[in-house]
Structure 1
């Protein structure tokens, strides 16, 4: 259902992971809820008829797209089996690679051929001609390696994003200002321009995502995990969770292999995915 690889070192400043999602049956919006990760995504559909449901309604998803983060959430469905490949980009990567601010495609997507022209169809056709998941993921890795610029500028924003992930969102905006010796106004301007979140929103989102990942992994009790991440009781956490999924936490705690749990049990687990330093 969900296979992935982590990028090589040269690509790691830009890419969190490259993955395959294979859903071998029709699926509904309720089955496929996605919550924001503060990243952009390149998606290439090989099989299926996906539609996206978001704040703007329901619309068809193209064969390939560069998507921003959806806030608070979005869902997708397909009336036939669905197979697609994704490249999860790190927060500032859309700008560094494609000169597109993540904030400008929030709650939206661009057909990938509007971003990289004929290359979009070329990489999709190459993947279609390739049989194994392993080789398809390797093709996408090579494709992204060709996008890496000769020089990489590492900014105040990259430093504080690193720090937020290092602390798993368990900090305040003032901590960022003190850590990087910049003003709150400066950070707010940069986050809004590049990411589309305020620093506080981004911190809270990262903390929430790490919390969900640990709940899905199931190595500690829910209450212990919530306490670890600073939620003073379950109702405090559930108010946020309900915005993205429902009021039923069993989607993360039950034994079935739903996509929501499968993805969350694996994300944010490796240092390379959560470290944005080049």
Structure 2
């Protein structure tokens, strides 16, 4: 199994990072948990067989050029054939800026890009096929296409971008009421705009970001898990276990005795 994030000389403000993911014969069958990092992503799966997605007992398949929406909680993937996958994570508000419509209808879902946004599919699909074996050129070409997109711009997006920046700066250790002091929304308006532009409510985003950041620090071995629990503002271990079960769909005891190399790589490198 190989997962690497890819550097590029050209950057686009809509894209967080590019990645490459490979599964070889010796890895099969490959099954793992994925903990989302707070954004949507677009990926091309070069595989003879669809990848099986399972999220809260809901199963779906994906292959070729696919949009993976904002997920709340982890999902599982199962791969039974040799796999080569290239994609990129979008910044939290990027999908809304591109499509200019409520993105919550793809929350906890993955969709063929051609069925979701055919215009974007027509721009990207030929690039993935043409530069499948030249990642540097692929990244450059995608960045160039994104530079030419006409984006939605309004004050609501600016305010949600600001709210996201505050959440990230505070590592998710923040309350929705704290955001209301920084952005000109009522609590109801903030929830409506946040869900429309990001895909989930601010409360859910904060809760998941805090947990994801804790797991990222643990995987990077910056600190012991018992210290992280209290530094991340969990009242006690039972509250941490409640979030662990919610986001990982298993107990922490079980997780820490299993090996999830892909999940660890994503948390470490993203």
TM-score of the alignment, normalized to the shorter chain, above 0.5: yes
Q: TM-score, normalised by structure 2?
A: 0.84
Map 1:78-97 to 2 at 5 A. Answer: 78-97=79-98
Instruction: Say whether residues 1:243 and 2:243 are aligned partners.
Output: no
Tell me if the contact between 2:6 and 2:20 (Cα under 8 Å) persists in the aligned partners: no
2:261 aligned partner: 258
Deviates more, 1:114-123 or 1:41-50: 114-123
Instruction: Say whether residues 1:231 and 2:234 are aligned partners.
Output: yes
Tell me if the contact between 2:44 and 2:85 (Cα under 8 Å) persists in the aligned partners: yes
CA distance 1:91–1:201, change in 2 (3 Å): same
2:36 aligned partner: 36
Q: Secondary structure at the match of 1:119?
A: helix
For residues 26 and 48 of structure 1, the distance between their equivalents in structure 2, rounded to whole angstroms, comes to 14
Map 1:16-165 to 2 at 5 A. Answer: 16-24=16-24, 25-28=27-30, 31-49=31-49, 50-55=51-56, 57-114=58-115, 115=117, 116-128=120-132, 130-131=133-134, 133-147=135-149, 149=151, 155-165=158-168
Deviates more, 1:94-103 or 1:83-92: 94-103
Q: TM-score, normalised by structure 1?
A: 0.82
Instruction: Say whether residues 1:209 and 2:250 are aligned partners.
Output: no
For residues 124 and 151 of structure 1, the distance between their equivalents in structure 2, rounded to whole angstroms, comes to 28
1:95-121 CA distances to partner (integer Å, 9 max, x unpaired)? 111234321211222311231243343
After TM superposition, what 4+ stretches of structure 1 lie above 6 angstroms from structure 2? 150-153
1:272 aligned partner: none
Which is helix-richer, 1 or 2? 2
Which residue of the other structure, out of 157, 160, 179, is the alignment partner of 1:176?
Answer: 179
How far did 1:258 drift?
0.8
Q: Secondary structure at the match of 1:219?
A: coil
For residues 258 and 217 of structure 1, the distance between their equivalents in structure 2, rounded to whole angstroms, comes to 13
For residues 254 and 144 of structure 2, the distance between their equivalents in structure 1, rounded to whole angstroms, comes to 38
For residues 111 and 160 of structure 2, the distance between their equivalents in structure 1, rounded to whole angstroms, comes to 24
Tell me if the contact between 2:241 and 2:251 (Cα under 8 Å) persists in the aligned partners: yes
Q: Secondary structure at the match of 1:45?
A: strand
For residues 53 and 164 of structure 2, the distance between their equivalents in structure 1, rounded to whole angstroms, comes to 29
CA distance 1:27–1:221, change in 2 (3 Å): same
For residues 255 and 64 of structure 2, the distance between their equivalents in structure 1, rounded to whole angstroms, comes to 29
Deviates more, 1:207-216 or 1:79-88: 79-88
Q: Secondary structure at the match of 1:88?
A: strand
